[in-house]
Structure 1
Amino acid sequence: MKPYKNPNLRSAFKVAWTGIWGAIRQERNFRIHLSAALLVLVAGWLLKITAQDWLWLILAIFSVLIMELVNTAIETVVDLVVGDKYDLQAKKAKDIAAGAVTLTALASAIIGLIIFWPYLENFLH
């Protein structure tokens, strides 16, 4: 079977957005991360964080969302290959991909704490 290739750039972007919207509709963890991102964005806006802080927050937010999409892609391919049967290597691949998301989310939370802590201290005093 010949692999599908996008005939043009517009088609490639359409496929990419279809994947993102599919993750929003079908993947609970992606929606959780997206909701957390929206809360962080609102907090940044309310606390009037600096442009440099925005850069770090945007990098952290997109890192988590990207890793969640990669994790979902890996899980989907592993499930396609393995099917319903239990496979130790499939479990390992899925666990490692989930671990990558977890580490990225942890790093992003630390970045968020470092950024927001001084603003919250000033806000509370």
Structure 2
Amino acid sequence: MLASFFHAWNGLIHTVVHQRNMRVHVVSAVLVGLVGSGIPLDVAEKVILIFCVLLIFFAEILNSALEHLVDLATRHFDEKARLTKDAAAAGVLVLAIGTVVIFAAILVNNWETVASSGPQIARQVALGLPLALCVMVLVLPQPRAVWVDAVAFLGGAVLLGVLATYTVSSVFSAINAGLLLIATSAARQRRREGPK
């Protein structure tokens, strides 16, 4: 069972390292986590947001696996292979658009809470945007010095710690900690693979 978990983790990290859209989803998930940890939402809304984020991750990982399978099966250009890849990517796009619509609906539904939470939102922005930037630095494919990754990880960890003291949802704080761990693991894996 431990080996299965290890292989699944490697698949997740491989997708983050090699798929640009997955890197975008990781940073976007951090932003969703910041909203969820800063604005009081009811349980149903929290579950919906978490499910949307996880569903997009699942779809992007499945899309990546399908692309690898198509590439393995076809060594030259094939219109059906292109259509297969395009359809899989369209599935991820539909989920991403749906998630944005759901996210907007939740914010609109809670607009009174959002409007009366000015100081909390300002704090989430002041601490959350640098956290998202730290995660973004870690998932970027460009080569960089080890110390840059170390600073990004440590900065993200400190920001998470400060944000955790103000959180309205420890679940979303834990999700952001997990996303920082994924981003750090992706940076480490990219360094192991070396420049391409």
Is it true that 1:82 corresponds to 2:66 in the alignment? no
Name the % identity: 28
Question: Cα distance, 1:121 vs. partner?
Answer: 4.7
The equivalent of 2:39 in structure 1 is 47
Q: Name whichever of 94-103 and 112-121 sits farther off.
A: 112-121
Whether contact under 8 Å (2:39, 2:113) holds in the other structure is: no
In the alignment, which residue of structure 2 is the partner of 1:34?
A: 26
Q: In the alignment, is residue 23 of structure 1 matched against residue 15 of structure 2? A: yes
TM-score normalized by structure 1? 0.86
> For residue 11 of structure 1, what is the aligned residue in structure 2?
3
Matched residue SS, 2:110: helix
Residue 105 of structure 1 is aligned with which of 91, 96, 116? 96
Residues 43-73 of structure 1: CA distance to partner in whole angstroms, max 9, x if unpaired? Answer: 1111122221110001111111100000000
Partner letter of residue 112 of structure 1?
Answer: F
Q: Quick one: distance in 2 between partners of 1:14 and 1:122?
A: 41
Aligned to 2:109: 118
Long gaps (5+) in structure 1: 1-8
d(CA) in 1 for partners of 2:112 and 2:87? 37
User: Higher mean Cα deviation, 11-20 or 112-121?
Assistant: 112-121
Bigger relative contact order, structure 1 or 2, given CA contacts below 8 A and separation 6+? 2
Amino acid at match of 2:85: K
| TM-score in terms of structure 2 length | 0.56
Partner of 1:95: 86
The farther-off stretch of 68-77 and 21-30 is 21-30
- Equivalents in 2 of 1:93, 1:121: separation in Å? 44
5+ long unaligned stretches in structure 2 = 117-196
Size of the aligned set, in residue pairs, is 116
**Root-mean-square deviation (CA), in Å?**
1.3
